[in-house]
Structure formats: C-alpha cells, structure tokens
Amino acid sequence: MNTAKRAKCGMRILTGVCLFALLFSLISLIVTKFVYDSQFPRYDRHDETVMAGLRYADLAEAYPRQLFTFPSAANQLQGYLYGQGQDRGLVVVAHGIGGGADSYLPQITWFVDQGWRVLAFDATGSFDSEGRTTRGFPQVLLDLDALLTYISAQEDLSGLPLLLFGHSWGGYAVANILHFGHDVQGVVSVAGANSAHGMILEQGHNLMGPFIYMQAPYLWLYQRIMFGTAASLSADDAIRNTEVPVLLIHGTQDEMVQYTGSSIVAAVRQDPPAHVRLLIRDLPGRNGHNNLFRSTEALAYIEQVNQEYRELYEQYEQNIPYAVRQAFYATVDRARAQDLDETIMAEIHAFYLDCLNRH
C-alpha cells in the first residue's frame, strides 16, 4: 500500500473513531440526563394517615410556628419558625431527600424544648415548596445558601448565634455551606455525603454496577452545567478551610451514605482537624441511615408495630385495603415510635453550647 492510500485509510479510521466517540458521548449525556433526573423527582407531603411519623396537627398547640417564604432561584420555598422569643441561638434544620421539614419534628421540638429558636424549611421540590422536581443533589446547598442570605436580612433573626443541623441530603448541605462564608457558629452534620459527585457515583454503582464509572465524566459535566461550581464542592475542603466547629455523626452500617465510602466521615476521620468532633454510631439497630436518633424503647416498639403489620400483610395476601391501613396506623403511638435517644441529642445540645462559649 502506497503512502497516499495508507494516509487515506488512516484518516478513515480516525474519522470513524471520532464519530464513534462523538456518538458515545451524545448517547451517554442523554442516558445521564435520563437516569440523573429520574433520581430527583418532586416529593409531596406523605399521607400521614398511613405512616407512623409525628404530625404537626397533633403538636400545633404546644409548638406554635410562624410560616414564611423565601426565594431560591425561580422558586419560593416554605419556611417554619419555632420558639419565637427564645434567644439562646437559632438552629437551622436541613432535611433529607424524600422528606421535608416536618420529617424532623422530633428533633425540632426537642431543640425548642431546650430553649433554642428553630428554623426549618422545605427544599426545592419538597413538600410545601415550589419546584417541579428536587433537581439534583447540589440543589439543597443552593437552597440553604438562599435561606441563610434571607436570615441575614431579618432584624429579628440576624442577631442570633447561627447553628446548623442537617441529616443526609441536609447533612451534606450544612457542611458544604461553609464554602459560602456565612457567619455560622457551629455545624452538626448527620449521615452526610462529602460531595455531590461522590454520592451520585456511589448510588449509581448500586443501580448500574461498574458501568457507572464510564459515565462519571458525563455525570460530572451534567451536574456542573446544572449547578455551576457548587457541583464540585466537598465538605472535606470546606471544613479544613474554616475554624467553625463541626460535629460529624455517622453510623457504621449506613446503607445510604456509606461510612467508608461517600461520607464526610470517611474523608476526614484519618486526619480530623482540631475543630472537628466525630460521633460514630456502632450500636446494632442504631447504626444505619435513618435509625440513628431512635431510643431503645422506640426501636422495640417499632419492631412490635412492624410485626403486627406483617401479620396484617399476610392476612390480606399482600394487598391491605387503604381503609384498613388507616385504621391500623390510627392505633400507633406516634410519640413512642419517634422517641429520641436522649444521649445523642444531649451531645448535640452540649456541642452547640460549646460553640457559643467559643465566642
């Protein structure tokens, strides 16, 4: 084959490779968008008649709250302020994905009982806030930034010491918000992911196996297009570049944010800064993602309720009528099922007091 023919053949091969790469990238971006968006739908309020969570309607008299809205990009988000008149400090609560502010009523009311003013909110696409979807993992960070900016402009709130509490999605947000320069006195991050990208890869591996790593560049690009630099932030960097005290709480058997994987704890525990405290939960039944806060009594009661529900499930051949489910949950003692572990809550309370004593 002469030189001209070899060159022509080489160009065809190169063109073919480039076209294949372009086609693969295009398909990968489409697949990435479809899979990513499907993981972040809108989450409306749960049907409280068929679940065992606390209901604000049952608590309203003892814990009155003030409703307000604030803007986050194009959406108006719903906020809730408790403990009006209490001036020890303002605890801002950031919820996990799939829930809303009321999903943390046990913790909110506990903080109020200790004399804190408490502010919680529904993130974009969650419960009573606007938004067709929750958009993506970094969205809660942008929402929290919008909320803290709103707080700084409120005369009755801006003068209070600001303390943050977040679980899961919210745990990621309250740690990463330290990148944004707000005047925060202390952070409690529970079961939080270190970065949006790390969390997406970990969850993607559960869905797609090793194939997810071929899509990693496209996931990174898609999040970057949607959220800008916020998509690339990590809690580890935020924590190490500030002196704000941080308490990290994580369970060793967390099934959602893996203790040795995407968690903030995994990123910092080998060399934790002096202003970081670690609280590692390794007690059976209280070392997962959603059971960290439950008391021993609550866990025993929940097991009893679950056993009774399983019997009902079998009785109706795996198709319990809606009215029967409502009747069943009407008998559940919600306060007992959501009873908090006083030890862990007392540690958080003491941590917040220490944060105030530093100033």
Percent helix, percent strand, percent coil in the chain, to nearest 5: 50, 15, 35
- Between the CA atoms of 331, 333, 334 and 339, what dihedral angle is there, to the nearest 10 degrees? -160
Tell me which residue of 258, 252, 125 sits closest to 203, measured CA to CA: 258
The amino acid sitting at 224 is: R
Nearest to 149 by CA among 92, 234, 229, 87: 92
b vs e for 15-43, b when ≥16 Cβ sit within 10 Å of the residue's Cβ? eeeeeeeeeeeeebbeebeebbeeebeeb
Please compute Rg for the chain using Cα positions: 23
Amino acid at position 210, single letter: P
Element containing residue 112 per DSSP (H, E): helix 105-113
pLDDT reported for residue 17? 58
pLDDT at 86: 95
3-state secondary structure of 37: helix
pLDDT in 10s for each residue of the chain, 359 residues: 566 666 666 666 666 656 655 665 666 667 678 778 888 999 999 999 999 999 999 999 999 999 999 999 999 999 999 999 899 999 999 999 999 999 999 999 999 999 999 999 999 999 999 999 999 999 999 999 999 999 999 999 999 999 999 999 999 999 999 999 999 999 999 999 999 999 988 887 776 676 666 778 888 888 999 999 999 999 999 999 999 999 999 999 999 999 999 999 999 998 999 999 999 999 888 899 999 999 999 999 999 999 999 999 999 988 999 999 999 999 999 999 999 999 999 999 999 999 999 86
Instruction: State the greatest distance between any 2 C-alpha atoms of the chain, in Å, as a whole number.
Output: 91
CA angle (81 as vertex; 80, 87 as ends), nearest 5: 165
Contacts of 306 (CB under 8 A, 6+ apart): none
Cα–Cα distance for residue pair 122/95, rounded to 1 Å: 8
To the question of pTM greater than 0.75 for the whole model, the response is yes
CA distances 117 to 146, 177, 304, 344, Å, are 19, 20, 35, 19
- Which residue type sits at 119? L
Rounded to whole angstroms, the Cα distance separating 234 from 196 reads: 8
DSSP string, 40-52: S--BPPP-GGGS-
**pLDDT of res. 19:** 64
pLDDT at 219: 84
Query: How many C-beta neighbours within 10 Å does residue 50 have?
Result: 15
Please report the pLDDT score of residue 5 as a whole number.
66
Q: How far is CA 8 from the centre of its chain?
A: 55
Question: What confidence score (pLDDT) does residue 218 get?
Answer: 80
Provide the 3-class DSSP secondary structure of residue 64.
Answer: coil
* Amino acid sitting at position 120: A
